[in-house]
Amino acid sequence: MSLPETNAAEPGQAGPNSSAGARLENLLARLRWQVGYYLLHFVEGDHQWGQMRYTAILAVILIFVVISRLFEPITSLPLFDWVIDYLGLRETIPAPALSLAAVVLSFFTRQVLRHAIPVVLGVLVALYYGAAYIRELLELPNLQQALKYLTATLFGNGYPRMEINEGRVGVADPETNPMLKIGGPGWVDIKIGNAALFERVVGPSSVLGAGSHFLRRFETLREAFDLREIERVRDGVKMMTKDGVPIVMHDMRARFRVRARELRTESNPYPVMTGAIRKAAYSRKVTAKGLEVWSDMVASAVRGTIGDWIAHRRMDELIAPPRDGNKPEEAAPPPYRQALHELFKHKNTRQKFAEMGAEIIWVSVGHLRPDPDVDPELDPDADATGHDKIHAQLIDTWKSTHAAQAQDEITDARAYGRWLNDTARAETEVKLIIALTTGLRDARAGAPPLDDRLADRLLEVVTGIRLREPQTQGTPQNVLLALNSLLQEGEPPRVDLLPGK
């Protein structure tokens, strides 16, 4: 039994019907895409699309004129006949040419042109009400600005221009130029050393550098930046140290610029970094006066960084006290200018300013001094150096350290002297007891009488002269002279604590 034949194609092969259907489907899909593309750009396209819309309006008007000519019977052209007869051209120009000229001129008669009035009037009314709507919607100062924006958008000619130079935006006629209030379509000329961030309704659209650029419809300028180095100077900046001393920093200078990843070369001296421009535009704060200026924000951040660094240090670490010549020299901390220079080179500090889209080139600070405003009794016109209370308090603080050290030395010396006095007295008493004991022993051994022996030992201890020794000159006369000198001087007797000296 044989199977019926079929026209099914083998796997991997397309039959003729399927191939034709695929081509037709592709053709229809491409046709739909082309129609959608042309319709979309015909509605919102710029440049040549605006010219196409202008041409389409003229074509509609022309069609109205042609159709109206077909339905308007023109029997004669009096003005044309009078000119031909007056110039005597009827005999010289062939009749077909005159007939053709009459047909062409018949399109410009009042009977025909009146049919174009509704179209022209409709276009003018539409432009008027469209401009009035844009003016009310965007709160424009006048109707002329809205009308200029609408005609430039519809017909693609007469685009307004805007210029960005030194971080500032300018237009030729602010009263009629819609670029500042509405935005594109239009041209923007960005001078070298500048960059700008543009937005559309849904968010940021582009970051543009030097050159001439076309802005699309409703593409507005968000912020313009000067890529050159910016320097800010602040004087009399008040801060507070860790130990609560208010100080004033004079001549604080900061130089910075918009961050750039690429190196600045002669061919590209101002490279634009899209991320840095966006961070600089969107990281600003809103103050009571409005949106903060980016350069002022960076300068305030520099001031805050220095203030935070000072707030973690005592006054003596910033303004060191005078050196004590009696103490060994210690390793002094680096000067605060050098320390601040290293602070702004640190990775964390650079990252902090990178979040603002800024790159710190250098920071310089002047001298620090205590805040003279804390002394209300000081004359504002007088020189506050050395006269305000904080200066006096610093001097007293530095003096108190040395005074405390001196008092410690004096106390130690007095204590040591008292210890020496007590020790000498104890040793003297011991020697006296030993001398008396020796005298008693000598008296018992048959020596001189007890009273004489005790008296001799007592004199020996008091005067330091040994009696009854053959090697000394201890005569009663010498003893009396020694006692007399001690009584006249009024000093305690000298005691030899170390034998043999």
52: in domain: yes
Q: Residues 127, 200: one domain?
A: no
For residue 174, the model assigns a pLDDT of: 80
Residue 394 host element (H or E): helix 389-444
456: in domain: yes
Q: Residues 36, 154: one domain?
A: yes
Q: Rounded CA gap, 130 and 109, in Å?
A: 32
For residue 213, the model assigns a pLDDT of: 93
418: in domain: yes
Q: Residues 403, 439: one domain?
A: yes
Tell me if the bond preceding 334 is cis, omega within 30° of 0: no
CATH of the domain at 237: 3.30.479.30
For residue 456, the model assigns a pLDDT of: 66
User: Among candidates 115, 106, 52, which has minimal Cα distance to 74?
Assistant: 106
For residue 118, the model assigns a pLDDT of: 87
Strands 211-215 vs 237-240: parallel, antiparallel or unpaired: unpaired
Q: Residues 173, 196: one domain?
A: yes
Q: Rounded CA gap, 192 and 255, in Å?
A: 20
User: Among candidates 227, 235, 239, which has minimal Cα distance to 253?
Assistant: 235
Q: Residues 354, 418: one domain?
A: no
102: in domain: no
Q: Residues 164, 123: one domain?
A: no
Q: Residues 138, 167: one domain?
A: no
SS3 category, 60 = helix
For residue 231, the model assigns a pLDDT of: 92
Which of 143, 158, 173 terminates a domain? The answer is 158
18: in domain: no
Instruction: Please give the sequence-ordered ranges of beta strands (E in DSSP) within 353-437, or none if there are none.
Output: 358-364, 368-370
Q: At what angle do helices 450-463 and 476-489 cross, to 10 degrees?
A: 50
Q: Residues 168, 245: one domain?
A: no
81: in domain: no
Q: Residues 241, 118: one domain?
A: no
Q: Residues 170, 118: one domain?
A: no
Q: Residues 351, 406: one domain?
A: no
Q: Residues 197, 127: one domain?
A: no
193: in domain: yes
297: containing domain: 230-261+271-324+333-370
Q: Rounded CA gap, 197 and 203, in Å?
A: 11
Taking 50 as the pLDDT cut, the residues of the chain under it are 1-12, 386-387, 470-474, 491-501
* Residue carrying structure tokens 């040549």: 48
Distance (Å) of CA 213 to CA 45, 219, 273: 16, 12, 18
224: in domain: yes
Domain count, the chain: 4
For residue 471, the model assigns a pLDDT of: 44
